[in-house]
Amino acid sequence: MKWLPRRGVLFRVILNGIISLIIAAGGFLGLGTLLLGSQAKQMERTMNTWVATVACEAYAKTPSSSALDAYPFRVTVYSPTGEPLASSSRDPLGLPTSDELARAKAGVPTMLSSSGDALSACTDGSGRYLAAGRPLQKPALGGLVFSVAVIVLVVAIGSIPLARSLVKPLRELVATAAQLGEGDLTARARHRGGDEFGDLAIAFNTMAGKLEARLLAEKEMLANISHELRTPLARVRVVLEMAKEDPARAASLLSEISRDLMELERLTEDVLATVRLDYERADNRAPTGLRLRSAEVDLNGVLLEAITRAVEAHPEREFVFDAPQGLPSLLGDPALLRRLFDNLLDNAQKYSTGPIVVRVRGEADALVVDVEDNGIGIERSDLERVFEPFFRTDRSRQRLTGGTGLGLALCRRIAELHHASIVAESGAGKTTVTVRLSRSDASH
């Protein structure tokens, strides 16, 4: 039967219903036995006494076995000496012993050792005894089996709607996962219930949305990288062509080639560092390229080097450096810190029109660097997301400004490796990125 898959959820739910029925029946039977055990024994004694009274009276009126035919169970009348006088069946009960007769005469509940049947003394003064035993007819096992089968079938059929309600959302989720695996990034689970399946569908849709956004962002990153590579390569080619036509100008054009090569180098480093960063998170290991090599770092010196490189790459922009003299050094990786501030300055010059200000201030246990620019600003909802890989706020201008959306993500990762914090604030076109570097040692 296709609707009852083996080892499937549907089969398991039905089987669970049947097992639960058996356990419940056994539990109620055991509980009833425990609670009614003493009462059942008392009822049995009362019934035996009543049967002895009625059966003995019937035999006294008609002293033959026909007087006992009305009883559906085996009843045997014994003489005062223990000899059988009459029985309701052709298979009389066992003979009582003298001790059993004495106990029954004394009114003590007695069971025949030969058959386990109840022995009682007649109360009509005749001195006779009566034993009541098993039913004359065996219980109809076929009917019992049929009744049990009907109950099990009813439980199984009654479990099918519940099982289907459990199986349906799982099958839909499996089908959606298969669509997603085949490349349909828009596939989403449709279950909207308020139960655990609804929570699972929401979690699945959230995962699918993040996966879609990540894949689309990576595609966009590849497009941005292509653009970023084409632009400096085209400039280098033009400069080389010009140098061929006018060798005398070749020396003056070397600075332009150097600037373009620096841009290509920075782009390559960002992409490779991002790949290593993702590998580190996935494999829970620190690649060689991102391990800290702690040393004494002169923060002012690192910032001046970064500003010098920015001025060389963008001589048309104005950079302002505001830092007090005599700042204490800190422990960190000079190469990674240079990359951090290179990326911050490069990002600031892309999205601003006015001067870029770098301010440094010392605090009790940290050195704080503010990189300020005046330009298009950042939406409040994007302030935290700007540090996510591949995220860009200025999507409408990305072909003009360039960039891959990796720079600030690398800045955050480098800050985390130094146990530092990095936050962005923006308002009225002014954007400030603040890096707070602890002066304590940054561990690996």
Q: Which pLDDT score, from 0 to 100, does residue 42 have?
A: 64
Q: Which pLDDT score, from 0 to 100, does residue 335 have?
A: 83
- Tell me the per-residue pLDDT of 140-168, one tens digit each, with 9 for 90 and over: 667 767 777 787 777 777 777 777 777 78
DSSP string, 341-395: HHHHHHHHHHSBSS-EEEEEEE-SSEEEEEEEEEBS---GGGTTGGGSTT--S-G
Residue with tokens 């790949």: 275
- Burial of 287 from C-beta contacts in 10 A (0-12 / 13-18 / 19+): middle
Averaged confidence pLDDT in the chain = 77
Q: Read off the DSSP letter of residue 66.
A: G
| Structural contact between residues 442 and 418, judged by C-beta atoms closer than 8 angstroms | yes
CATH of domain 198-283: 1.10.287
| Structural contact between residues 21 and 175, judged by C-beta atoms closer than 8 angstroms | no
Encoding tokens for residue 394? 């200025």
Q: Which pLDDT score, from 0 to 100, does residue 435 have?
A: 94
Encoding tokens for residue 322? 């505001």
The pLDDT averaged over each successive group of 10 residues in the chain (444 residues) is 51 73 75 63 68 81 81 83 82 76 83 78 84 69 74 76 76 86 84 75 87 79 71 78 74 73 76 64 49 81 91 87 87 87 88 88 89 83 72 50 67 86 85 87 46
Q: Which pLDDT score, from 0 to 100, does residue 188 have?
A: 87
Q: Read off the DSSP letter of residue 328.
A: P
Q: Which pLDDT score, from 0 to 100, does residue 8 have?
A: 60
Q: Residue 126: helix, strand or coil by DSSP?
A: coil
413 contact partners, CB below 8 Å, separation of at least 6: 277, 290
Distances (CA, A) of 123 to 46, 58, 101, 117, 197: 14, 12, 14, 19, 71
Domain at 292-438: CATH architecture: 2-Layer Sandwich (3.30)
Q: Which pLDDT score, from 0 to 100, does residue 223 have?
A: 72
